[in-house]
Amino acid sequence: MSILFSEKTKTFHLYNEKISYIMTVLPNGHMGQLYFGRRVHHKEDFSYLLERVSHPMTACVFDDDDSFSLEHTRQEYGVYGTTDFRHPAVEILQENGSRLSNFVYTGHEMMAGKPKLPGLPATYTEQPEEAETLVVRLKDELTGIVLELFYTIFAEGGILTRSVRYTNEGNESVQITRAMSLCLDLPDHEYEWLQFSGAWARERHMKVRRLESGIQAVDSIRGNSSHEQNPFIVLKRPTADEEQGEVIGFSLIYSGNFLAQAQVDAFDTTRVLLGIHPFGFSWKLEARASFQTPEAVMVYSHEGLGDMSRTFHRLYQRRLARGYWRDRERTILNNNWEATYFDFTEDRLVEIAKKAKDCGVELFVLDDGWFGARRNDQAGLGDWIANKKLLPEGIAGLSEKIEALGMGFGLWFEPEMTNPDSDLYRTHPDWILETPGRHASLGRHQHALDFSRPEVVDSIYKMMAKILSEAKISYIKWDMNRSITECYSRVLPADRQGEVFHRYILGVYELYERLTSEFPQVLFESCASGGGRFDPGLLYYAPQGWASDDSDAVERLKIQHGTSFCYPISSIGSHVSVSPNHQVYRETPLHTRANVAYFGTFGYELDLNKLTEAEQEQVKEQICFMKKYRKLLQFGSFYRLSSPFDGDGNVSAWMTVSEDRREAVLGWYRILSHANRPCSRLRLSGLDETLCYCITEDGQEREGVYYGDELMNVGLVTTEGAAKEVALGEKGGCDFDSRIFVLKAEG
């Protein structure tokens, strides 16, 4: 058993080979947090970890005991107002106007495996022995509200998942105004805070700062997890790095408004909160009704950031992503968007697809512009019927032509949106999110449909399912190109308008669930103007996501590096696009564009007909390389070796290693070339110390063999030829250069 309960001390100990999580019932019946960290031996009594100290000028729970104040007690699910003055995990507005609650332990249940969360994405188990779940039941007797705190500890890795279910066993309805998925009180604040921030085209840039007194937070109130922030943070000890030291990663499996917050109090303890953002949120909980929070995942490691990331990768790749494509190598595709934008005909599309097929591409994707009156981004959204002027035989006819070439066919949708210039909007102008009497703002010339309404979701489902049923489609790119404004639903009463943001995301999840269940072999890729909704919630339905609309190889180094802290390489949509790049207008070598894109799903975002013959031959070589190594690249263990966020960021490197550690692929990238450069070495990771490796560099075999311990401790020599004056005919370096190394063990 991985969960032990001491009846005498009312203490729970959740543990596996990596971690221990210890909590107890406090003297007032609330749940208290005692320890979370590296595995410790079990014993019956951990009560010494409940530090009770008398602090001056403190409000206390018991009149005759000035050593017990919730303000100075580490808790499992803190409540504001009854001697705890920190931001709470829960707040419930009652009919009399009170917001106080008193949740007292009434019992618990343990079970093998992991229960599903109704209507929400979450991690799962396939065999009961993979995990064990504890459900702690708390009740507020005055209101009859019951909290069930769910804790699942997986058998392998430092993983603990948490969520909360609210049930109203009282007779009066209440308004839940704050319902966090996770509350963790830590005994000190000696951490650095890592967040992954940005904007459109520069998502998930790593930011690092020390925790200080007060509040640090990242959040989104845009209706989507956002380009600006990601529902993932890390706390690490200041001395921790990629290979050693204590780190805790916090990830929310949710795609809507979120809050991730750390509050350091006057006594240097730290409270971490993670869940649905309370701003603008409320949920009317009627008598006998329940509300389920999204799942939060905590990963602890004493072996550094790299081990934490690989733990997230394994969990999200194998026990969050689902279905036919979960364990399969991703198809190499060619998307027409940056090749044609809206300017295409069927003949032009087939011409692009033929060249892609000649080069070895396996899937052709038709992006925006194929439906309704959609000849620009100002019309047609919501009219999911093929434009017969462009496609005389519709999507079915085009898909058959592509399949006849020996390729799969993929299609773009943006199902959550509509343009004012569309038949859908003209027929159902009341289906958009807008506030009565207020101006309805446009984003990219479009409105967000009210996905909190089942009839809206059902209508979109029928249009999409019809196309998927009639055509030969093996891939869907699901886009979402604006954040939500004027968030108001015409069909909900005033006291339920605080539910709309959450109900919208539940509607998105429902549509995904229906389509992925009915068409299980279709590969879904999520997109939201690129990386605006790159989060664990969508990985449950779409095992890969378009990481960013910015396809420039240099910009992608930071984007993909930051993304890798939480998300597996098999989930990162990455393409080779045209040069000069359409986002930053930078010219980069074709080999570097591919060398970056290899570490993801891989594909092309251009018209290969426009490349020179030499470039087309290079593309063929790239595709052959990816097909040979894509299982290793997408499903191997990933190691970050050199960060584009460190120092001047001029050199970056990362690598993937096979499970048996006999094979590895290493990507090395240098932004700007400098005159008379010094010699350089790169220390590798993840290899077997005892094995000898042969190394090829850009397809050319290096002389000699190298032991794993040699490569990890001495390093791989990466000194460039241009460290001296280049002789006539000798190859030197260039700006935006890169190399690919393949390591294979002898024997």
Which residues form the catalytic set? 479, 549
Residue 120: alpha-carbon gap to chain centroid? 15
Q: Which of 371, 339, 378 is nearest to 355 (CA)?
A: 339
Q: Which helix (H) or strand (E) holds 339?
A: helix 337-340
Q: Which of 381, 384, 371, 524 is nearest to 463 (CA)?
A: 384
Note if the bond before 580 is cis, omega within 30 degrees. yes
Q: Looking at the DSSP assignment, which residues form a beta bridge with residue 447?
A: 418
Going from the C-alpha of 222 to that of each of 148, 484, 702, the distances in angstroms are: 29, 6, 51
Q: What is the DSSP letter of 631?
A: H
Q: Which helix (H) or strand (E) holds 274?
A: strand 270-276
Sign of CA dihedral 220, 223, 228, 229: positive
- Number of Cβ within 10 Å of residue 309's Cβ equals 25
Helix (H, G, I), strand (E, B) or coil at 186: strand
Q: Which helix (H) or strand (E) holds 365?
A: strand 363-366
How many residues in the chain?
Answer: 747
| CB-based contacts of 207, cutoff 8 Å, min separation 6 | 194, 195, 196, 197
- Number of Cβ within 10 Å of residue 518's Cβ equals 13
Note if the bond before 294 is cis, omega within 30 degrees. no
- Tokens of residue 510, six digits: 């429902």
In the block, tokens 């209706």 appear at 223
Residue type, 630: R
- Tokens of residue 429, six digits: 């102008």
Left if phi > 0, otherwise alpha if psi is -120 to 50, otherwise beta: which for 243? alpha
**Rounded distance between C-alpha atoms, residue 159 and residue 610, angstroms:** 48
Helix (H, G, I), strand (E, B) or coil at 647: coil
